């Protein structure tokens, strides 16, 4: 659906060339939710704006649904942009227009018939749960409601791709979750390809299928969210994972326990239905190994349940080794810390 090939973007600042993107190669499949995460200044906003050519790349190719946008003149590019919706961090609504008028705006620009516009606006307001607010103005709406208007407006032209530029960073956690749930619902109902940039790992973990980590204008890590979250390879990725994994607290606990004795400390990862099965208890009972849980969590990544436990094994070395091997044989990932 989206292919970026050797994408580069430079800016000129006080006569000097400043690179923002340095040879990005990325493929985003049709119908998936792809997250791009990075710190401020890493290049993620430039990257997403290059996808719809709001920023023209210095070099490289942006191919959306088989069309290379970098080769198009302004008129043809404008036509192709109708296939790419975009929502923004600060909503970008028309303050003097009602909710319905904001949603209708791109359709009026495209000179669609009034009856078609009214029908589409009604459908979209129902989709985003704002049918009762159609005659209100943006100043009368909450932040979450404003973003729902932005989503409805972005969907007005029936795009194949929806770009989300920090779409939840101005919202409180509860509202963020409701917007993420709406995006996931839209993805499933409409088969829409969604590209979402953020600096919050919680957002990536909640709805994304795959993720790319950008740092210094380069994609430093990419893969399925489960793989990247549970086995981060790059230091930048590990920083983001620590946002939701209490890693600093865990390091302190592990250091304290190691200082107290020579027990074996392991991190056990459960995926899918194994998350809810008593595999740990059964294994320790069978191997006669005593254990203490130092830290644990059960959560979901999009549709996949997962759990992680940090456990101190208090058996003798032979018992501990047998317990670890049995856990691995039963499909769990065990990391000796």
Domain identity same for 214 and 286: no
Among 225, 243, 261, the domain boundary falls at 243
Domain identity same for 161 and 83: yes
Domain identity same for 125 and 172: yes
In this prediction, residue 332 carries a pLDDT of 92
Identify the three-state secondary structure at position 204: helix
| H helices present in the chain, as ranges | 44-51, 74-81, 99-109, 114-127, 143-154, 173-190, 201-207, 225-230, 235-245, 247-260, 279-287, 317-329
Side by side, the strands of the sheet bearing 2-13 are 16-28, 2-13, 59-64, 67-68
Domain that holds residue 10: 2-243
Q: What is the mean pLDDT of the chain?
A: 91
Domain identity same for 31 and 135: yes
Q: What is the number of structural domains in the chain?
A: 2
User: CA-CA distance, 164 to 88, in Å (whole number)?
Assistant: 6
In this prediction, residue 196 carries a pLDDT of 95
Provide the pairing of β-strand 84-88 with 67-68: unpaired
User: CA-CA distance, 228 to 211, in Å (whole number)?
Assistant: 8
Among 243, 277, 299, the domain boundary falls at 243
pLDDT band at 48 (very low <50, low <70, confident <90, very high): very high
pTM of the predicted protein model: 0.84
Does 255 score more than 80 pLDDT?
no
Domain identity same for 190 and 301: no
For residues 81-85, give the mean pLDDT: 92
Tokens 């704006």 map to which residue? 49
In this prediction, residue 242 carries a pLDDT of 79
Domain identity same for 67 and 159: yes
Does 158 score more than 60 pLDDT?
yes
Task: Tell me the two tokens of residue 159.
Answer: 């795009």
Which of 78-92, 173-187, 246-260, 299-313 shows the lowest mean pLDDT across its residues?
Answer: 246-260
Domain identity same for 191 and 45: yes
244-254 pLDDT tens trace: 665 555 566 55
Does 126 score more than 70 pLDDT?
yes
Among 194, 212, 243, the domain boundary falls at 243
**DSSP calls for 118-179:** HHHHHHHHHHTT-GGGTT--GGGS-HHHHHHHHHHHHTTT--SEEEEESTTTTS-HHHHHHH
96-119 pLDDT tens trace: 999 999 999 999 998 999 999 999
Distances (CA, A) of 215 to 71, 105, 231, 237, 244: 28, 36, 18, 9, 19
Domain identity same for 325 and 293: yes
183-227 pLDDT tens trace: 999 999 999 999 999 998 889 999 999 999 999 999 999 999 989
Domain identity same for 163 and 231: yes
Domain identity same for 130 and 39: yes
In this prediction, residue 182 carries a pLDDT of 94
% pLDDT > 90, the chain = 71
Domain identity same for 266 and 329: yes
User: Where residue 97 sits, what CATH number does that domain have?
Assistant: 3.40.50.300
Domain identity same for 270 and 185: no
Cβ(46)–Cβ(9) under 8 Å?
Answer: yes
In this prediction, residue 208 carries a pLDDT of 95
User: Where residue 313 sits, what CATH number does that domain have?
Assistant: 3.30.70.260
């Amino acid at each position: 659906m989206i292919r970026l090939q050797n994408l580069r973007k430079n800016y000129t600042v006080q006569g000097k060339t400043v690179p923002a993107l340095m040879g990005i190669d990325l493929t985003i499949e049709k119908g998936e939710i792809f997250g791009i995460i990075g710190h401020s200044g890493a290049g993620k906003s430039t990257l997403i704006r290059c996808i719809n050519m709001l920023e023209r790349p210095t070099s490289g190719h942006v191919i959306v649904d088989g069309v290379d946008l970098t080769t198009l003149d302004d008129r043809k590019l404008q036509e192709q942009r109708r296939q790419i919706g975009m929502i923004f961090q600060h909503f970008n609504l028309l303050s003097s227009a009602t909710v319905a008028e904001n949603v209708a705006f791109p359709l009026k620009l495209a000179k669609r018939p009034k009856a078609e516009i009214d029908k589409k606006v009604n459908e979209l307001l129902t989709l985003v749960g704002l049918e009762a607010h159609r005659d209100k103005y943006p100043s009368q709406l909450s932040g979450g409601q404003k973003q729902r208007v932005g989503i409805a407006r972005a969907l007005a032209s029936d795009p194949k791709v929806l770009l989300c530029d920090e779409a939840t960073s101005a919202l409180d956690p509860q509202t963020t979750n409701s917007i993420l749930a709406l995006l996931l619902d839209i993805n499933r109902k409409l088969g829409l390809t969604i590209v979402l940039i953020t600096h919050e790992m919680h957002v990536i973990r909640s709805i994304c299928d795959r993720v790319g980590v950008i740092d210094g204008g380069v994609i430093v890590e990419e893969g399925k969210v489960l793989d990247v979250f549970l086995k981060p390879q790059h230091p930048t990725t590990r920083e983001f994972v620590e946002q939701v994994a209490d890693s600093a607290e865990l390091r302190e606990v592990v250091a304290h326990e190691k200082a107290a004795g020579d027990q074996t400390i392991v991190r056990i990862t459960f995926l899918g239905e194994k998350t809810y099965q008593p595999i740990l208890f059964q294994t320790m009972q069978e191997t006669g190994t005593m254990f203490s849980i130092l830290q644990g969590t059960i959560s979901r990544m999009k549709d996949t349940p997962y759990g992680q436990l940090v456990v101190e094994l208090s058996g003798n070395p032979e018992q501990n080794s047998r317990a670890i091997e049995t856990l691995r044989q039963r499909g769990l990932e065990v990391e000796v810390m």
